[in-house]
Structure 1
Amino acid sequence: MLLSIFSFGKAQEHPKAYVCYKTSNSVHIDGVIDDAEWGGVKWSDYFVDIEGDKKPLPTYNTRVKMAWDEEYFYVAAELIEPHIWGKLKQRDTVIFYDNDFEVFIDPQGDNHRYYEFEMNALNTIWDLMIARPYRDGAPAINAWDIKGLKSAVAIYGTLNDASDKDDKWTLEIAFPWDVLRECAPEQRKPKNGEQWRVNFSRVNWDVIAEKGKYSKCINPETGKTYPEHNWVWSPQGEVAMHQPETWGYVQFSTKTAGFGVDAFVKDEDYALKMELIRLYKQQKQSYNEKGAYRKELNSNVSVQIEVTKLQFLMYAKGKTGRTWYIDHESKIWNE
């Protein structure tokens, strides 16, 4: 039996899954999730803590919808929130210093060349490309922008007014395929039935209301701000969004939303991929402690290991008959 994927009690046997259908009407990006545009599109499951069932459920509910047409990949989100606030107004600043909503997209599902997008209640955005996960030493490419992006926020309450209680804020995003295809298979839109790795995150800070304004709560013992809450669609198992192997699966369908259903096709090789990730972590630990990668590792699957002084390559055959590879930069691919 494979070791648990996560350190908490119940392993994630398979990440969250969502079938993304085509829209019947064009989506007007105004932040309002209108039934005429989104009525046939189902909501996702509500978000959970980033660490999964190791932690309590989030204080406030969050959920998303996804759809697509020939020009855009659409995302809508509903964030229940009694205290709607935002301070950051400069594009490409660190948006999660405010309460925010984040989107992560790995078109090829190989852990490399993926997109990150963040926005706050002011509709201030941060879009960036990641060459490989931070654990493998890659910098964020902040100068990269999503040309043709559309985003909007609708406030159900009063923004930055701590004298009352708010209801929620909702948002809509249109990601143009002309940009997303840069890191996609064969640099194209998804084919029918194709799956991309996607996840969503909501960062929420504990705040207090003083003189009609919000401020982050301070721990009286340390004098520092309390850590933020991280709520996500597909749990990561730890406080780390930049591990694409645990993101959800979005399966694209050419059916129109509300007119027919496609069954989600489970990734039968997911357990093997996570075993390769486990062995990858052992190799990194070995290098950090002894300055060398190991030629042999304990595993219940037949894994081939090739090692040089600075690199390693490991591979094994999955249930589907495909051989999966992982290297020293955690890139996963198959042949």
Structure 2
Amino acid sequence: MKDIFTFLFLFVLPVSIFAQKHPESYVCYKTSESITVDGAVSESDWAKAEWSHNFVDIEGDKKPLPTYHTRVKMLWDEDYFYVAAELQEPHIWAKLNQRDAVIFHDNDFEVFIDPQGDNHLYYEFEMNALNTIWDLLLAKPYRDGAPAINAWDIKGLKSAVKIYGSINDSSNADEKWTVEIAFPWKVLKECAPGQRKPLSGEQWRVNFSRVNWDVEVVDGNYQKKKDPKTRKTLPEHNWVWSPQGVIAMHQPETWGYVQFSDKIVGEDTEMFIPDEDYITKITLIRIYQQEKKYFAEKGYYSVEIKPGFQGQIEITKKQFLAYLKGNSGKIWYINQESKLWSE
């Protein structure tokens, strides 16, 4: 298996879509107590839940490690999927206070959830240190022409922030801010397999992102730093749980895996089961990328887009379908809208 991964990494799959051999993973256990969403992450069940690895740059090993640490925990019960995050930050600030504003114009924390793992019908959630939120639904990734559905709201959502220091006060140094979020299953199940909450052992594709801007103090206020020559605002930093390989969060195929367990947190453990068909999915994503490039140049798709491809490709004037057998024995498919599914 190692030789196959090495060959695909070096000769078939570009780094931009192959951020790592397998995305980050997390086993999410059930709670034994009620979680109070106050931002403090103080319940005993939270103490029993493991922290994730610290976030890395969105481009992975191509860029240095983030300046400040970020990490997450997850839990669930019959009503909610809980997320807690800790964000180290010596300069805590936020300006946006209207729901569904473009929150990443502030420093923010973001959650992405694809319940079916097919790159379609997935959720995005963003919040800043003022607990201003932006929730949206995407029918498919932006690369495939879908607009975000901003009018969609997560009814019953709970979120909170705790500031360790002060907010919008440049006179002192801060330590961190922590967040708690409760996503109700009654909403998440709308796009989930069988329109239900996850079964024990089931895996959903999830990722987390943190946008962080370099700031300076001007007349006692935080301002985003500008390039001294161009006077343009410096680009933001994008720090994530599972690296994307490129500066783009909307490629769900490289998000992490969250495996849900019926076991109570702290009482028992279970092993994460890697996706044995992950390499097959990424191979199909490579075919998708090449087909889209070919179509942009020629105006039609090709059945011979990749010499040596062990699967099959079918085309019409405006569509293509590629499929390949995975290690599990399932046949995996991808189409011109990057939708992944199996039979």
TM bucket normalised to smaller: over 0.9
Q: TM-score when scaled to structure 1?
A: 0.98
Match of 1:78 in 2: 86
The answer on 1:312 being equivalent to 2:326 is no
Q: Does the aligned pair in 1 maintain the 2:19–2:243 contact within 8 Å?
A: no
Match of 1:137 in 2: 145
Structure 1 residue runs of 4+, over 4 Å off?
Answer: none
The answer on 1:180 being equivalent to 2:188 is yes
Q: 1:2 aligns with which of 1, 8, 14?
A: 8
Q: CA deviation at 1:102?
A: 0.1
Q: 1:146 aligns with which of 141, 146, 154?
A: 154
Q: TM-score when scaled to structure 2?
A: 0.96
Q: 1:95 aligns with which of 100, 103, 107?
A: 103
Q: CA deviation at 1:302?
A: 1.4
Q: Does the aligned pair in 2 maintain the 1:61–1:79 contact within 8 Å?
A: yes
> In 2, distance between residues paired with 1:264 and 1:38?
19
Partner secondary structure for residue 286 of structure 2:
helix
Match of 2:177 in 1: 169
Q: Deviations over 1:99-134 (max 9, x none)?
A: 000000000000000000000000000000000000
Q: Deviations over 1:231-260 (max 9, x none)?
A: 000000000000000000000000000011
Q: Does the aligned pair in 2 maintain the 1:22–1:255 contact within 8 Å?
A: yes
Q: 2:233 aligns with which of 218, 225, 230?
A: 225
Change (3 A) 1:303 1:155: same
Q: CA deviation at 1:319?
A: 0.6
Q: CA deviation at 1:6?
A: 4.6
> In 2, distance between residues paired with 1:129 and 1:266?
27
Q: 1:120 aligns with which of 125, 128, 141?
A: 128
Counterpart amino acid of 1:2? L
Match of 1:31 in 2: 39
Partner secondary structure for residue 82 of structure 1:
coil
Q: 2:59 aligns with which of 40, 51, 71?
A: 51
Q: Does the aligned pair in 2 maintain the 1:61–1:80 contact within 8 Å?
A: yes
Q: Does the aligned pair in 2 maintain the 1:181–1:188 contact within 8 Å?
A: yes
Match of 2:257 in 1: 249
Change (3 A) 1:66 1:232: same
Partner secondary structure for residue 259 of structure 2:
strand
Q: Deviations over 1:281-323 (max 9, x none)?
A: 0000001111111111325441110001100000010110000
Q: Does the aligned pair in 1 maintain the 2:168–2:221 contact within 8 Å?
A: yes
Q: CA deviation at 1:74?
A: 0.1
Q: Deviations over 1:31-89 (max 9, x none)?
A: 00114241111100000000000000000000000000000000000000000000000
> In 1, distance between residues paired with 2:287 and 2:295?
12
RMSD (CA atoms): 1.3
Q: Does the aligned pair in 2 maintain the 1:303–1:316 contact within 8 Å?
A: yes
Match of 1:196 in 2: 204
Q: CA deviation at 1:220?
A: 1.6
Q: Does the aligned pair in 1 maintain the 2:45–2:266 contact within 8 Å?
A: no
> In 1, distance between residues paired with 2:30 and 2:20?
29
> In 2, distance between residues paired with 1:226 and 1:37?
40
The structure whose residues are more often helix, as a share, is 2
> In 1, distance between residues paired with 2:59 and 2:236?
13
Counterpart amino acid of 1:248? G
Unaligned runs of 5+ in 2: 1-6
Q: Does the aligned pair in 1 maintain the 2:35–2:43 contact within 8 Å?
A: no
The answer on 1:293 being equivalent to 2:330 is no
> In 2, distance between residues paired with 1:121 and 1:49?
21
Partner secondary structure for residue 333 of structure 2:
strand
> In 1, distance between residues paired with 2:104 and 2:14?
25
For structure 1, which segment, 30-39 or 91-100, has the greater mean C-alpha deviation from structure 2 after superposition? 30-39
- Give the total of aligned pairs: 335
> In 1, distance between residues paired with 2:191 and 2:210?
24
Unaligned runs of 5+ in 1: none
Q: Does the aligned pair in 2 maintain the 1:2–1:300 contact within 8 Å?
A: no
Partner secondary structure for residue 296 of structure 2:
helix
Q: Does the aligned pair in 2 maintain the 1:85–1:99 contact within 8 Å?
A: yes
Q: Does the aligned pair in 2 maintain the 1:76–1:171 contact within 8 Å?
A: yes
